[in-house]
Amino acid sequence: MFLRFCVLLCWGMMVIFMAGSCNNYQKVLKSSDYDLKYQTAMELYKKKDYTRAYPLFEELVSVKRGTTAAEDIYYYYCFCNYYMDDLVSASYHFEQFAKTYPNSPRAEQAAYMVAYCYYLGSPQYSLDQTNSLKAIDQMQVFINQYPSSARVDTCNTLIDQLRSKLERKSFESSMLYYKTMNYKAAIISLKNTLKDFPTTLYREEIMFTVLKSSFLLAENSVDSKKAERYKNTMDAYYAFIDKFATGKDVREAEQIFENARTAYSIFKPVN
């Protein structure tokens, strides 16, 4: 019974404390004492209470513009957006901070955070990769602007991760054309993937799929186009075998080549 009484007493005191705290916070919000607002905002920020610190900093950004406190206020306001997971707003404000205070010791960090917010907003490879492209661009901007920064190595690592995601997106999208039997589009798309990602780990599979797509495109073509497309199939075989003469798909590739050569001899134009 006594234990239950103690628990209820503690709970009651906590509720009273929280109610008092909320009342004090509301008073600060409505106050015209901007020094008090700044002090309260910083206290909340240090406690990681970014949700309550945010509206105070937001107001102070406008009120204190042009003052000696403006840089500090805007800096913490940027990070409130970041910690609240509003990455779009955070990236925008970090960029504005870097432009507004280019000589600040915090300008480098702000410039990095612009790119990092886009990086965090980059979705899985199967979705739209606009943020990935923006992140790569901003990382490169940062590297160019701060080539001696300790963050350059991190930027290069993140760029590699993002490019790997773009590479897989391109590869999977190209393979979808093949799987849906759109062989002409598959050939074009797969070759573009090789062009955009010349060191891709998917190179062998891409070149073999180009070979298969070329043959199947020829097989399903009207007679007037068969000779040219069987010839393209043989060219695709030579390109593949030049790179992967001992690859796992060599036997199948050779069979495709023999079939294409036989068909070409039938459909090739007679001079």
190: pLDDT strictly greater than 60? yes
Cβ-contact 142, 179 below 8 angstroms: no
Tokens coding 262 = 């036989």
According to the model, what pLDDT value does residue 5 have? 44
- Residue 271: predicted pLDDT: 67
Per-residue confidence (pLDDT) for residue 2, from 0 to 100 = 46
Q: Which of 212, 166, 205, 172 is nearest to 189 (CA)?
A: 172
Q: Report d(CA 150, CA 223) in Å as an integer.
A: 62
pTM value surpassing 0.75: yes
Q: What pLDDT digit, counting tens, does each position of 36-72 carry? A: 999 999 999 999 999 999 999 999 999 999 999 999 9
CB 114 within 8 Å of CB 137: no
- Give the closest residue to 125 by CA, choosing from 85, 172, 193: 172
Q: Tens digits of per-residue pLDDT, 6-44?
A: 444 445 445 444 555 568 999 988 888 999 999 999 999
pLDDT for 145: 97
pLDDT tens digits for range 80-138: 999 999 999 999 999 999 999 999 999 999 999 999 999 999 999 999 999 999 999 99
Q: In sequence order, what are the residues at sequence separation of 6 or more whose Cβ sits closer than 8 angstroms to the Cβ of residue 31? A: 37
